[in-house]
Amino acid sequence: MREPARGNTGFWNSLRQGGVPSAIASIMGAPTAQHMAFIRSMMREQRRPEVLHTPLNELDAVVFDLETTGFSPQHGDEIISFGAVRIHGGVVLEGEQFYTVVQSKTAVPEHITELTGITQEMTLDAPTLLEGLHDFMSFVGGNVLIAHASAHDRAFLNAALWRTSKVRLTHRLIDTMMLARWLEPSRPGYGLDELLESRGIPIYGRHHALEDSKMTAQLWSCYLEDMTRKNVETLGDLYTQLSHA
């Protein structure tokens, strides 16, 4: 997605610094302006080098999943739900979970409704995308993100963040599919269902963003044990291994 051309104006300088000019804020309404400013502030300083020294069994992270109207944010597909759980090391924190459906300007296709259970009517009554992003990023905080087949989720998050707030995702992101490819290079496939079955993790509520997040968190816990046996102890160790995988 190409960043819009802009001059060295006060408006764009304010956007880059995480603020919103008062005149624009008055047009948007204070809550909207505050949501945008918060999201921009969240995107600053997320790649602190000291987190690379964090032991994986002490890592605070958020495992998340998105449901979308299709596979191409560049061609108008949009996020329709966010789901996430907080973990510490390999332990899912009890009660620390997030879920919301959000509005979509793109109609929800029938096959997506059949897959996810989310109807067009549900999105009409849901929070706006900006409100959903604000609440999701508030839940995430400064934590590392974990997702399965994360390229899809990153692309949609970046599209939504740029559309609503003119920023891009800066959080560190671990992909459990990449982990599986490194840990089990001879597998015939790396779909979530196949990997869950291989680890004896019960499959339920597939294609519901929160339930998929919970199952991916269990998969991460299994991989954490595997990484420990391979003497991969810190986030930096993990990135080094994945960069050579």
Q: Mind listing the pLDDT tens digit for each residue in 106-125?
A: 999 999 999 999 999 999 99
Say which DSSP state 55 is in: B
Which positions are catalytic?
Answer: 207
Residue 132 exposed, middle or buried by CB count within 10 Å (0-12, 13-18, 19+): buried
What is the tens place of the pLDDT at every residue in 151-192? 999 999 999 999 998 889 999 999 999 999 999 999 999 999
Instruction: Tell me the whole-structure pTM to 2 decimals.
Output: 0.84
Does position 34 have pLDDT exceeding 90, yes or no? no
pLDDT tens per residue, range 39-81: 777 676 566 777 889 999 999 999 999 999 999 999 999 999 9
Q: How far is CA 45 from CA 153, 170, 172, 174, 223, in A?
A: 21, 8, 11, 18, 28
Q: What is the pLDDT of residue 39?
A: 77
**pLDDT level of residue 23 (50, 70, 90 thresholds):** very low
Q: What percent of the chain has pLDDT over 70?
A: 84
User: With contact defined as beta carbons under 8 Å apart, do 97 and 65 qualify?
Assistant: no
Helix (H) / strand (E) containing 15 = helix 10-17
* Tokens found for residue 150: 């994360």
